[in-house]
Amino acid sequence: MDLSRLLSPCMDDDVSDATSTASVSPPSSPVLCPSSPPSSPASIASSSSSSSLRTGKWFYEEEQYALALVECFLLSYFPSLSAGSSLRLFLADKLSCSPMRISKKLSREPLELAGVALPKKLGQQRYLEQPIDTAQRTRTLAHLAQLEATFHRCLAHEHRLASPQEAQKRGMDMHSNAMHRTGYWFREEQVYAWKLIDFFLKGQLRLRKGTTLRAYLAEQLGCSPMRISKKLASGLIGGKTIPKKVGTATYRPQSKHTAEFTQAALKAEAELAAARAACFAFKTNPNAYAEATLRPIATPLLLLRRAAMVEV
């Protein structure tokens, strides 16, 4: 949907969001006045909850959910909101993050959410009460509920990965992998790495948007990110030239909801599976390759010597 046609003229000056905090209450730490009593257990709990607000990168499912929220907000599909409510505070409440994080996202140029270009000054929008299509509202809110459920599943997975137990486990796994994958890059590993890079830059993988190439390669090859950085800095892998600073590239998928993407992703997965099998077959049994490499070649002179030894 073209959201630009839904936008009313933006105000030149930012209006304080304080007028809309009654209808939209994003989680935030309490501000105590000088005359406020000492911190109570409830205020301490509120303060601790504010420290758990989401920060950092936006994952793809979050952007999809945010885009649907913006659309429903501009179409006035939330009767519980009062007129004049701030879109910025509304998004902060729904996405469990601070309004500042929303402001930073909406101030970027070009402004995009889930690959959809958005007009400037979107964060200044206020909620307007206007006539709506009831049937369309029902369908749109049903789709919004699906996106919300997906967002919360990803959020739960993110919290699980951030737990101390998972962090310790990943650290041990990374250390273990780093101990096994160091030093020289053999041919099969470089072929596999090149295919990973190629499909990553083409956007033909089922990865979360924003994943860095360096982290992706380290995970797939089972080695430390530093080893990846050193190899990418050489500018050559598998006999092919790679762009400078390619390790900092972030994943931008093609349209996920097309038959062409699904077909391309399946083809990429098949090629990567074959390359991965060859790569790790070498790693799990390098002696077989070494023996094949060191085995003496049966030259004519060697065959004559063997024949002479048999005759004797």
Taking only the tens place, the pLDDT of each residue in 58-97 is 887 888 899 999 999 999 999 999 999 999 999 999 999 9
**Same domain for 149 and 202?**
no
Whether 44 shows a pLDDT value over 60: the answer reads no
- Number of domains observed in the structure of the chain: 2
* Domain coverage including residue 212: 164-290
Check whether residue 197 and residue 264 sit in a common domain. yes
User: Is 108 domain-assigned?
Assistant: yes
Would you state the pLDDT for residue 172?
Answer: 58
Look at residue 39 and tell me whether its pLDDT is greater than 70: no
Question: Distance (Å, rounded) from C-alpha 308 to C-alpha 312?
Answer: 6
pLDDT of amino acid 155: 82
Q: What does the pLDDT average to over 37-60?
A: 61
Same-domain pairing of 45 and 147: yes
Together in a domain, 129 and 264 = no
pLDDT (tens digit, 9 = 90+) per residue, 254-311? 766 677 877 888 888 889 999 998 888 865 555 544 444 334 444 454 444 555 554 5
In a domain, 299, yes or no: no
pLDDT digits (tens, 9 = 90+) for 111-158: 888 778 888 888 889 999 999 999 999 999 999 999 999 888 888 877
* Confidence (pLDDT) at 108: 85
Is 312 within the bounds of a domain?
no
With a pLDDT cut of 90, the percent of the chain lying above it is 29
Among 145, 162, 179, identify where a domain stops: 162
Q: What does the pLDDT read at residue 264? A: 84
> What span, in angstroms and rounded, lies between the C-alpha atoms of 92 and 97?
5
Provide, for the chain, the percentages of residues in helix, strand and coil under a 3-state DSSP scheme, each rounded to the nearest 5: 60, 5, 35
> Of the candidates 200, 202, 222, which has an alpha carbon nearest to the alpha carbon of residue 211?
200
Per-residue pLDDT, 284 = 56
Same domain for 154 and 17, yes or no, is: yes
CA–CA gap between residue 246 and residue 232 (Å, rounded): 7
Taking the alpha carbons of 10, 11, 13, 17 in that order, is the dihedral positive or negative? negative
Residues 241 and 115 in one domain: no
Does 11 share its domain with 152? yes
Residue bearing the bigger pLDDT, 19 or 231:
231
Residue 224 lies in a domain: yes
Which pTM value belongs to this model?
0.50
Q: Kindly state whether residue 307 falls inside one of the protein's structural domains.
A: no
Domain boundary among 136, 162, 188: 162
pLDDT for 1 beyond 70: no
The DSSP output letter for 20 is G
What's the chain's average pLDDT?
Answer: 76
pLDDT of 87:
95
Rounded Cα–Cα distance for residues 302 and 312 (Å): 16
